[in-house]
Structure 1
């Protein structure tokens, strides 16, 4: 496997948030598969991947970091680009998609864009299946497909089936490690590009399109760092928290000052 499965030494202390920020910026400059962040429990690597040792408070700090950067810097750029190109957002503030934002998108998008970053062996079937589910949306066919993908991810470990945990040949793994920086940044760009669907683009010039999704690009970098350095569970949880914050603000505005929504 690309990460140790068991037999880890006992975890050392968790980094401070500013240390994690420093590690994130270093990682973005030079993405790498190892090592994981300190603080992981000793034991099964698969379990720690899905249920990492990370506090909700720490994830909230990362969400606050993203909200602040997007609100002060990247968000205004996106708004200006939308105004210049005539793009409008598809979100209907009177019908907030809570289920999609808090559960569906975090799980499906992390499976599509980030699960295989550390576990590339199942990418050949997992990514196409997750993309199909993403296109189906949160309806019963898509929900059943995602459920099947998660079962296929979990069953080899829950049923102790070592033969189903085989990784890529060593030669392929070496090539993947060399190309990992490209894979990481391309998946972050692809994650941002998918969010162009959130807009009615009208006649927006092509050169303005990247500016519309700058917030999602930064978010993709942070989520990718969490996936690689902490685990897929951390990126899913942060994804849900990040999505929920702005929607909660919109909901509060609608309840407390509906005239502002107009």
Structure 2
């Protein structure tokens, strides 16, 4: 049960950004098997809506207009085809695969070497092929299986699913956690440069184009560490859904905008 107020979570997020750390999850959520708490949401509907409203607000009023102004001045155009909005990919595929690539291993660094190559391949290949969909389903099954089992089978320990890093490597990772936290967020935001097309652009303007994704990525990464990957996936999906549903509603009211 969520006992923190939204204001308290905002304060925790702000302090976390000042010194990212591999901190425990919120106290009221540190119950049960670690694998289970990693995937359970940990947030009620009200809190999810508060966070997604907060992200929409700051992006609509601050970072979105700034990115749009930079894109206009630099001659960058968005690739989104309003007549063919990939809503299934944006709401279902992208939140799951992007959270697995950029944020899952923040709390599970021992799984980096097998998980990232597979999920990154899925991300770059896209959801169009059956092979990619099956591969991603197998990844999720392998990760989720220990959470539903009474104990971790030897196979899971052998392939790294239930393995623990040697203490010296874990300490090394914890001391440098801020680099991994911000680095993964920068890479997540940089991925969205693919959404733009431009011939020539000043390099210093590129970060400004993806400010909304960077800020949103910070919240998602914090939520992944403090709540779990299940919470970050759901919030990611809700965040993507809002603008797409708005565009679809506008297109239905004015079909001529698709041309």
Normalising by structure 1, we get a TM-score of 0.91
Q: Bigger CA drift: 132-141 or 214-223?
A: 132-141
Tell whether 2:134 aligns with 1:137: no
Find 1:178's aligned residue among 156, 175, 179: 175
Higher relative CO (CA 8 A, sep ≥ 6), structure 1 or 2? 2
Equivalent position to 1:231, from 200, 203, 228: 228
- Give the match for residue 68 of structure 2: 79
Alignment of 1:56 onto 2:45: yes
The separation in 2 between residues aligned to 1:44 and 1:221, in whole angstroms, is 26
**Equivalent residue, structure 1, for 2:143:** 153
1:149-228 maps to which residues of 2 (within 5 A)?
149-159=139-149, 160-161=151-152, 163=154, 164=157, 165-228=162-225
Moved more, 218-227 or 198-207: 198-207
Q: Offset of 1:148 from its aligned partner?
A: 1.7
Q: Which runs of 4+ in 1 moved over 6 A?
A: none
Q: Are the counterparts in 2 of residues 14 and 38 from structure 1 also a CA contact under 8 Å?
A: no
1:7: which partner in 2? none
CA RMSD of aligned residues (A): 1.6
Is the contact between residue 35 and residue 146 of structure 2 (CA under 8 Å) also seen in structure 1? no
Q: Structure 1 stretches of 5 or more lacking a match? A: 1-10
| Superposed CA offset, 1:111-135 (max 9, x none) | 0000000011111010111110001
Q: CA deviation at 1:41?
A: 6.0
Question: How many correspondences in the alignment?
Answer: 251
1:23 corresponds, among 1, 9, 12, to 12
2:29 counterpart of 1:32: no
50-59 or 125-134, which moves further after superposition? 50-59
